[in-house]
Amino acid sequence: MSQCGNSGGLLLVISGPSGVGKTTIARELEKRLGGVFSVSVTTRPRTPADVEGRDYHFLSDLEFDARRKRGDLLEWAEVFGKYKYGTPRQPVEEALRQGKLMILEIDVQGGLQVKEEMPDSFMIFVLPPSDGDLLKRLRGRGRDSEEAIQRRFAVAKAEIATAQQSNAYDAFIVNDDLEKAIGEAGALVQDRRQR
């Protein structure tokens, strides 16, 4: 079983429901703390806005399954029964060996898989201020039908419950003020690294 406390490296997992601001928080921590952001692999089609190697590494179903079977993925999931996503193991282990802060922004199921594989990982879950606020944020994104928003909302509530009941997450941060949430997450990570 891999450990992630070696050489001062730290594996930081940031999870939270859709629309809660976890990507923004993760990207800010990457900048402010000098972290390395993990680039996931996916079988979903590449959009014109996607940059290979920055947003994702795009794989065929066959390539993805081969990597999964070889144990090359730290965690993986099938989303909505359509596309697969996963975290390549090698770049994570390499960054930790070099004493770096490796940041994974993944869902709860992925977070639980990572915690099992690497028990020393530091896990932060980002919460919305309220259910009503989360619903407002999901609607405010302007990219889904009301039916899809309600489905995402139900999934989000289930993810929050799973995270709270799992005992895998070290900290829960409420994102009611983005700058405050980033500061709180950064302080928690720095405190953990100094231990």
Identify whether the C-beta of residue 88 lies closer than 8 Å to the C-beta of residue 74.
yes
pLDDT at 97: 95
- Give the percent of the chain with pLDDT over 90: 79
Which range among 23-27, 139-143, 163-167 shows the weakest confidence by mean pLDDT?
A: 139-143
Query: What is the dotted CATH code of the domain comprising 6-194?
Result: 3.40.50.300
Q: Does pLDDT of 4 surpass 70? A: no
pLDDT at 6: 42
Predicted confidence (pLDDT) per residue in 174-189, tens digit = 999 999 999 999 999 9
pLDDT at 7: 57
Q: Element (H or E) spanning 52, and its range?
A: none
Identify whether the C-beta of residue 147 lies closer than 8 Å to the C-beta of residue 194.
no
Cα-based angle 97, 99, 101 (whole degrees, multiple of 5): 110
Cα-Cα-Cα-Cα dihedral sign, residues 129, 182, 96, 42: positive
Predicted confidence (pLDDT) per residue in 36-95, tens digit = 999 999 999 999 999 999 889 999 999 999 999 999 999 999 877 778 999 999 999 999
Per-residue b/e over 65-100, b at no fewer than 16 CB within 10 Å? eebeeeebbbbbbeeeeeebbbbbbeebbebbeeeb
pLDDT at 143: 80
pLDDT at 30: 95
Q: Does pLDDT of 1 surpass 50? A: no
pLDDT at 82: 79
Predicted confidence (pLDDT) per residue in 108-149, tens digit = 999 999 999 999 999 999 999 999 998 998 888 788 899 989
